[in-house]
Amino acid sequence: MGPGNDTQMSEFLLLGFSERPELQPLIFGIFLSMYLITVVGNLLINLAISSDSHLHTPMYFFLANLSFVDICFTSTTVPKMLLNIQTQSKIITYEGCITQMNFFLIFSVLDIYLLAVMAYDRFVAVCHPLHYTVIMNPRLCGLLLLLCWVTSVLHSLLQTSMVLPLSFCTKVEIPHFLCELNQMIKLSCSDTFLNNLVMYLAAMLIAGGPLVGILYSYSKIVSSICGISTAQGKYKAFSTCASHLSVVSLFFCTGLGVYLSSAATQSSHSSATASVMYTVVTPMLNPFIYSLRNKDIKRALMRFSAMGVRKSPIVLWLKN
Protein backbone atom coordinates (compact mmCIF):
# COMPACT_ATOMS: atom_id res chain seq x y z
CA MET A 1 0.00 0.00 0.00
CA GLY A 2 1.36 3.40 -0.93
CA PRO A 3 2.10 6.28 1.38
CA GLY A 4 -1.00 8.25 0.40
CA ASN A 5 -4.53 8.25 1.69
CA ASP A 6 -6.82 5.28 1.35
CA THR A 7 -10.47 6.24 1.16
CA GLN A 8 -11.45 2.57 0.65
CA MET A 9 -9.83 1.30 3.86
CA SER A 10 -11.03 -2.25 4.47
CA GLU A 11 -9.61 -3.07 7.91
CA PHE A 12 -7.91 -1.76 11.04
CA LEU A 13 -5.65 -3.36 13.64
CA LEU A 14 -6.70 -3.28 17.31
CA LEU A 15 -3.40 -3.45 19.20
CA GLY A 16 -5.01 -4.05 22.61
CA PHE A 17 -2.95 -3.93 25.80
CA SER A 18 0.19 -5.92 25.12
CA GLU A 19 1.89 -7.56 22.15
CA ARG A 20 3.80 -10.04 24.35
CA PRO A 21 2.51 -13.56 23.54
CA GLU A 22 3.06 -14.88 27.08
CA LEU A 23 0.60 -12.32 28.48
CA GLN A 24 -2.24 -13.12 26.07
CA PRO A 25 -3.67 -16.13 28.01
CA LEU A 26 -3.67 -14.06 31.23
CA ILE A 27 -5.43 -11.12 29.54
CA PHE A 28 -7.94 -13.51 27.93
CA GLY A 29 -8.71 -15.18 31.28
CA ILE A 30 -9.13 -11.89 33.15
CA PHE A 31 -11.45 -10.30 30.58
CA LEU A 32 -13.47 -13.47 30.03
CA SER A 33 -14.05 -13.69 33.80
CA MET A 34 -15.04 -10.02 34.07
CA TYR A 35 -17.36 -10.32 31.06
CA LEU A 36 -19.14 -13.40 32.43
CA ILE A 37 -19.53 -11.77 35.87
CA THR A 38 -20.95 -8.63 34.20
CA VAL A 39 -23.48 -10.54 32.09
CA VAL A 40 -24.58 -12.93 34.85
CA GLY A 41 -24.74 -10.23 37.54
CA ASN A 42 -26.77 -7.76 35.48
CA LEU A 43 -28.99 -10.55 34.14
CA LEU A 44 -29.78 -11.65 37.70
CA ILE A 45 -30.72 -8.07 38.62
CA ASN A 46 -33.14 -7.98 35.67
CA LEU A 47 -34.63 -11.38 36.49
CA ALA A 48 -35.05 -10.49 40.16
CA ILE A 49 -36.83 -7.23 39.34
CA SER A 50 -39.11 -8.78 36.70
CA SER A 51 -40.07 -11.72 38.95
CA ASP A 52 -40.91 -9.67 42.06
CA SER A 53 -44.03 -7.50 41.89
CA HIS A 54 -42.81 -5.47 44.89
CA LEU A 55 -39.98 -4.13 42.69
CA HIS A 56 -42.23 -2.90 39.90
CA THR A 57 -41.56 0.73 40.83
CA PRO A 58 -39.90 3.59 38.89
CA MET A 59 -36.56 3.18 40.73
CA TYR A 60 -36.25 -0.50 39.83
CA PHE A 61 -37.66 0.09 36.34
CA PHE A 62 -34.70 2.35 35.59
CA LEU A 63 -32.30 0.00 37.39
CA ALA A 64 -33.44 -2.90 35.17
CA ASN A 65 -32.82 -0.77 32.09
CA LEU A 66 -29.40 0.27 33.40
CA SER A 67 -28.48 -3.39 33.90
CA PHE A 68 -29.59 -4.21 30.36
CA VAL A 69 -27.56 -1.31 28.94
CA ASP A 70 -24.50 -2.39 30.95
CA ILE A 71 -24.68 -5.85 29.36
CA CYS A 72 -24.91 -4.30 25.88
CA PHE A 73 -22.19 -1.73 26.70
CA THR A 74 -19.67 -4.43 27.62
CA SER A 75 -20.77 -6.73 24.80
CA THR A 76 -19.86 -4.16 22.13
CA THR A 77 -16.14 -4.41 22.93
CA VAL A 78 -15.07 -7.40 25.07
CA PRO A 79 -16.24 -10.33 22.84
CA LYS A 80 -14.34 -8.92 19.84
CA MET A 81 -11.21 -8.49 21.95
CA LEU A 82 -11.50 -12.05 23.28
CA LEU A 83 -11.98 -13.37 19.74
CA ASN A 84 -8.89 -11.52 18.53
CA ILE A 85 -6.80 -12.94 21.38
CA GLN A 86 -8.13 -16.46 20.78
CA THR A 87 -7.49 -16.34 17.02
CA GLN A 88 -4.21 -14.42 17.48
CA SER A 89 -5.50 -11.77 15.09
CA LYS A 90 -5.74 -8.01 15.65
CA ILE A 91 -7.88 -7.32 12.59
CA ILE A 92 -11.25 -5.60 12.66
CA THR A 93 -12.96 -4.66 9.39
CA TYR A 94 -13.80 -1.05 8.57
CA GLU A 95 -17.51 -1.86 8.75
CA GLY A 96 -17.01 -3.69 12.05
CA CYS A 97 -15.07 -0.77 13.48
CA ILE A 98 -17.75 1.76 12.50
CA THR A 99 -20.48 -0.51 13.90
CA GLN A 100 -18.61 -1.02 17.17
CA MET A 101 -18.02 2.72 17.52
CA ASN A 102 -21.69 3.43 16.81
CA PHE A 103 -23.03 1.03 19.46
CA PHE A 104 -20.33 2.02 21.96
CA LEU A 105 -21.48 5.65 21.68
CA ILE A 106 -25.14 4.68 22.04
CA PHE A 107 -24.71 2.60 25.19
CA SER A 108 -22.15 4.87 26.87
CA VAL A 109 -24.48 7.87 26.49
CA LEU A 110 -27.44 5.76 27.62
CA ASP A 111 -25.52 4.91 30.80
CA ILE A 112 -24.97 8.60 31.52
CA TYR A 113 -28.58 9.60 30.88
CA LEU A 114 -30.06 6.70 32.86
CA LEU A 115 -27.90 7.65 35.85
CA ALA A 116 -29.21 11.22 35.55
CA VAL A 117 -32.84 10.03 35.34
CA MET A 118 -32.29 7.79 38.38
CA ALA A 119 -30.93 10.80 40.28
CA TYR A 120 -34.11 12.72 39.44
CA ASP A 121 -36.17 9.75 40.64
CA ARG A 122 -34.32 9.79 43.99
CA PHE A 123 -34.78 13.59 44.20
CA VAL A 124 -38.56 13.22 43.85
CA ALA A 125 -38.65 10.29 46.31
CA VAL A 126 -36.74 12.16 49.04
CA CYS A 127 -37.84 15.77 48.48
CA HIS A 128 -41.47 15.15 47.41
CA PRO A 129 -42.39 11.75 48.94
CA LEU A 130 -46.14 12.47 49.13
CA HIS A 131 -46.31 13.27 45.41
CA TYR A 132 -43.87 10.58 44.28
CA THR A 133 -46.40 8.18 42.74
CA VAL A 134 -48.18 11.07 41.00
CA ILE A 135 -45.01 12.64 39.55
CA MET A 136 -43.16 9.42 38.67
CA ASN A 137 -46.13 7.84 36.92
CA PRO A 138 -45.65 5.09 34.27
CA ARG A 139 -46.21 7.57 31.42
CA LEU A 140 -43.42 9.89 32.61
CA CYS A 141 -41.07 6.95 33.20
CA GLY A 142 -41.70 5.68 29.68
CA LEU A 143 -41.16 9.16 28.20
CA LEU A 144 -37.90 9.63 30.12
CA LEU A 145 -36.60 6.26 28.93
CA LEU A 146 -37.64 7.06 25.33
CA LEU A 147 -35.87 10.44 25.57
CA CYS A 148 -32.69 8.70 26.76
CA TRP A 149 -32.76 6.30 23.80
CA VAL A 150 -33.59 8.94 21.19
CA THR A 151 -30.87 11.32 22.42
CA SER A 152 -28.27 8.53 22.52
CA VAL A 153 -29.11 7.22 19.04
CA LEU A 154 -29.16 10.72 17.48
CA HIS A 155 -25.81 11.60 19.06
CA SER A 156 -24.28 8.36 17.80
CA LEU A 157 -25.67 8.86 14.29
CA LEU A 158 -24.28 12.42 14.22
CA GLN A 159 -20.78 11.33 15.23
CA THR A 160 -20.78 8.27 12.95
CA SER A 161 -22.02 10.23 9.93
CA MET A 162 -19.16 12.69 10.42
CA VAL A 163 -16.57 9.87 10.53
CA LEU A 164 -17.81 8.07 7.39
CA PRO A 165 -16.57 10.71 4.87
CA LEU A 166 -13.07 10.74 6.39
CA SER A 167 -10.15 9.21 4.53
CA PHE A 168 -7.52 7.25 6.45
CA CYS A 169 -3.76 7.05 6.24
CA THR A 170 -1.82 3.88 5.56
CA LYS A 171 -1.10 3.49 9.29
CA VAL A 172 -4.31 1.89 10.50
CA GLU A 173 -3.14 0.64 13.90
CA ILE A 174 -5.50 1.56 16.75
CA PRO A 175 -3.56 1.48 20.06
CA HIS A 176 -6.68 0.46 21.93
CA PHE A 177 -8.92 -2.57 22.47
CA LEU A 178 -11.92 -0.85 20.85
CA CYS A 179 -12.75 1.51 17.99
CA GLU A 180 -13.14 4.72 19.95
CA LEU A 181 -14.34 7.91 18.26
CA ASN A 182 -11.28 9.87 19.36
CA GLN A 183 -8.89 7.22 18.00
CA MET A 184 -10.72 7.07 14.65
CA ILE A 185 -10.44 10.83 14.22
CA LYS A 186 -6.72 10.74 15.06
CA LEU A 187 -6.10 8.11 12.36
CA SER A 188 -7.71 10.18 9.63
CA CYS A 189 -5.68 12.07 7.03
CA SER A 190 -8.59 14.42 6.33
CA ASP A 191 -9.18 17.79 7.92
CA THR A 192 -10.72 16.81 11.29
CA PHE A 193 -11.22 20.27 12.80
CA LEU A 194 -15.01 20.05 12.53
CA ASN A 195 -15.01 16.47 13.85
CA ASN A 196 -12.98 17.47 16.90
CA LEU A 197 -15.15 20.54 17.49
CA VAL A 198 -18.39 18.55 17.36
CA MET A 199 -16.90 15.72 19.45
CA TYR A 200 -15.81 18.00 22.29
CA LEU A 201 -18.96 20.15 22.22
CA ALA A 202 -21.12 17.02 22.28
CA ALA A 203 -19.05 15.58 25.14
CA MET A 204 -19.59 18.75 27.17
CA LEU A 205 -23.35 18.67 26.55
CA ILE A 206 -23.85 14.90 26.80
CA ALA A 207 -21.75 14.40 29.95
CA GLY A 208 -21.85 17.90 31.45
CA GLY A 209 -25.64 18.36 31.31
CA PRO A 210 -26.53 15.13 33.14
CA LEU A 211 -23.69 15.68 35.64
CA VAL A 212 -25.05 19.12 36.51
CA GLY A 213 -28.52 17.59 36.89
CA ILE A 214 -27.16 14.85 39.17
CA LEU A 215 -25.25 17.34 41.33
CA TYR A 216 -28.33 19.59 41.59
CA SER A 217 -30.56 16.64 42.52
CA TYR A 218 -28.19 15.49 45.25
CA SER A 219 -27.72 19.00 46.61
CA LYS A 220 -31.49 19.15 47.12
CA ILE A 221 -31.50 15.62 48.56
CA VAL A 222 -28.76 16.47 51.08
CA SER A 223 -30.63 19.64 52.03
CA SER A 224 -33.84 17.66 52.62
CA ILE A 225 -32.04 14.96 54.62
CA CYS A 226 -30.44 17.60 56.85
CA GLY A 227 -33.92 18.92 57.59
CA ILE A 228 -35.11 15.56 58.95
CA SER A 229 -35.21 15.65 62.73
CA THR A 230 -34.55 11.99 63.63
CA ALA A 231 -31.35 10.05 62.96
CA GLN A 232 -33.40 7.03 61.85
CA GLY A 233 -35.26 9.16 59.33
CA LYS A 234 -32.01 10.55 57.96
CA TYR A 235 -30.53 7.07 57.61
CA LYS A 236 -33.65 5.74 55.84
CA ALA A 237 -33.68 8.66 53.39
CA PHE A 238 -29.96 8.37 52.66
CA SER A 239 -30.08 4.58 52.26
CA THR A 240 -32.46 4.95 49.30
CA CYS A 241 -29.76 6.94 47.47
CA ALA A 242 -26.56 5.22 48.66
CA SER A 243 -26.35 2.58 45.91
CA HIS A 244 -27.08 5.03 43.10
CA LEU A 245 -24.63 7.57 44.50
CA SER A 246 -21.93 4.88 44.63
CA VAL A 247 -22.54 3.90 40.98
CA VAL A 248 -22.57 7.55 39.83
CA SER A 249 -19.31 8.28 41.66
CA LEU A 250 -17.66 5.16 40.22
CA PHE A 251 -18.77 5.84 36.64
CA PHE A 252 -17.98 9.56 36.46
CA CYS A 253 -14.75 9.38 38.49
CA THR A 254 -13.33 6.56 36.35
CA GLY A 255 -14.46 8.24 33.12
CA LEU A 256 -12.94 11.55 34.18
CA GLY A 257 -9.79 9.74 35.32
CA VAL A 258 -9.42 8.14 31.87
CA TYR A 259 -9.45 11.44 30.04
CA LEU A 260 -7.26 13.24 32.56
CA SER A 261 -4.68 10.43 32.51
CA SER A 262 -4.68 10.25 28.72
CA ALA A 263 -4.25 14.02 28.49
CA ALA A 264 -1.42 13.97 31.04
CA THR A 265 0.57 10.98 29.76
CA GLN A 266 -0.23 11.22 26.01
CA SER A 267 0.15 7.42 26.02
CA SER A 268 -2.46 5.50 24.07
CA HIS A 269 -1.69 2.25 25.88
CA SER A 270 -2.16 4.00 29.24
CA SER A 271 -5.46 5.39 27.99
CA ALA A 272 -6.57 1.91 26.86
CA THR A 273 -5.73 0.46 30.27
CA ALA A 274 -7.54 3.27 32.07
CA SER A 275 -10.58 2.86 29.78
CA VAL A 276 -11.10 -0.63 31.19
CA MET A 277 -12.30 0.98 34.42
CA TYR A 278 -15.48 2.53 33.01
CA THR A 279 -16.04 0.20 30.05
CA VAL A 280 -15.62 -3.14 31.86
CA VAL A 281 -15.04 -2.77 35.61
CA THR A 282 -17.90 -0.35 36.35
CA PRO A 283 -20.63 -2.44 34.60
CA MET A 284 -19.25 -5.49 36.43
CA LEU A 285 -19.42 -3.83 39.86
CA ASN A 286 -22.89 -2.26 39.46
CA PRO A 287 -24.84 -5.47 40.31
CA PHE A 288 -22.71 -6.00 43.42
CA ILE A 289 -23.24 -2.41 44.57
CA TYR A 290 -27.02 -2.60 44.13
CA SER A 291 -27.42 -6.10 45.57
CA LEU A 292 -25.10 -5.68 48.57
CA ARG A 293 -26.53 -2.30 49.61
CA ASN A 294 -30.18 -2.97 48.80
CA LYS A 295 -32.33 -5.24 50.99
CA ASP A 296 -35.16 -5.36 48.43
CA ILE A 297 -32.83 -6.67 45.72
CA LYS A 298 -31.34 -9.21 48.16
CA ARG A 299 -34.80 -10.51 49.05
CA ALA A 300 -35.83 -10.65 45.38
CA LEU A 301 -32.66 -12.56 44.46
CA MET A 302 -33.22 -15.03 47.30
CA ARG A 303 -36.87 -15.48 46.25
CA PHE A 304 -35.84 -15.96 42.62
CA SER A 305 -33.16 -18.48 43.61
CA ALA A 306 -35.63 -20.42 45.76
CA MET A 307 -38.14 -20.40 42.90
CA GLY A 308 -35.47 -21.69 40.53
CA VAL A 309 -34.54 -24.50 42.91
CA ARG A 310 -38.19 -25.54 43.36
CA LYS A 311 -38.74 -25.67 39.60
CA SER A 312 -35.47 -27.40 38.72
CA PRO A 313 -35.91 -30.78 36.94
CA ILE A 314 -33.88 -32.63 39.61
CA VAL A 315 -36.02 -31.35 42.49
CA LEU A 316 -39.25 -32.10 40.59
CA TRP A 317 -38.01 -35.62 39.82
CA LEU A 318 -37.12 -36.23 43.49
CA LYS A 319 -40.57 -35.04 44.59
CA ASN A 320 -42.25 -37.40 42.16
DSSP string, the chain: --SS-BTT--EEEE--S---GGGHHHHHHHHHHHHHHHHHHHHHHHHHHHH-GGG-SHHHHHHHHHHHHHHHHHHTTHHHHHHHHHHT--EEEHHHHHHHHHHHHHHHHHHHHHHHHHHHHHHHHHH-GGGHHHHT-HHHHHHHHHHHHHHHHHHHHHHHHHHTT--B-S--EESSSS--HHHHHHHB-S--HHHHHHHHHHHHHHHHHHHHHHHHHHHHHHHHHHT--SHHHHHHHHHHHHHHHHHHHHHHHHHHHHHHHHHHH--HHHHHHHHHIIIIIHHHHHHHHHHHS-HHHHHHHHHHHHHHHHTSHHHHHHH-
**Residue 312 covered by a domain:** no
Range of the domain at 190: 11-295
User: Is the model's pLDDT at 68 over the cut of 90?
Assistant: yes
Per-residue pLDDT tens digits for 191-212: 889 999 998 899 888 888 999 9
**Residue 142 covered by a domain:** yes
Most confident of the ranges 52-66, 141-155, 212-226, 262-276? 141-155
**Residue 315 covered by a domain:** no
Per-residue pLDDT at 308? 55
Per-residue pLDDT at 316? 45
Give the CATH number for residue 59.
Answer: 1.20.1070.10
User: Is the model's pLDDT at 103 over the cut of 70?
Assistant: yes
Which sign, positive or negative, has the C-alpha torsion 34, 39, 41, 42? Answer: positive
CB of 268 within 8 A of CB of 23?
A: no
**Residue 313 covered by a domain:** no
CB of 153 within 8 A of CB of 206?
A: no
Per-residue pLDDT at 200? 87
**Residue 311 covered by a domain:** no
User: Is the model's pLDDT at 78 over the cut of 50?
Assistant: yes
What is the distance, to the nearest Å, from the Cα of residue 227 to the centroid of all Cα atoms in its chain?
34
**Residue 308 covered by a domain:** no
User: Is the model's pLDDT at 258 over the cut of 60?
Assistant: yes
User: Is the model's pLDDT at 86 over the cut of 60?
Assistant: yes
Position with higher pLDDT, 312 vs 120 = 120
Q: What is the pTM of this model?
A: 0.86
Per-residue pLDDT tens digits for 219-254: 999 888 888 777 777 777 777 788 888 888 888 877
**Residue 176 covered by a domain:** yes
Average model confidence (pLDDT) across the chain: 83
Share of residues in the chain with pLDDT > 90 (%)? 37
**Residue 267 covered by a domain:** yes
Per-residue pLDDT tens digits for 282-298: 899 888 888 766 777 77
Per-residue pLDDT at 4? 43
Per-residue pLDDT tens digits for 121-152: 999 998 898 999 999 999 999 999 999 999 99
Per-residue pLDDT at 229? 77
Q: Count structural domains, the chain.
A: 1
Q: At what angle do helices 282-292 and 58-75 cross, to 10 degrees?
A: 150
Per-residue pLDDT at 82? 92
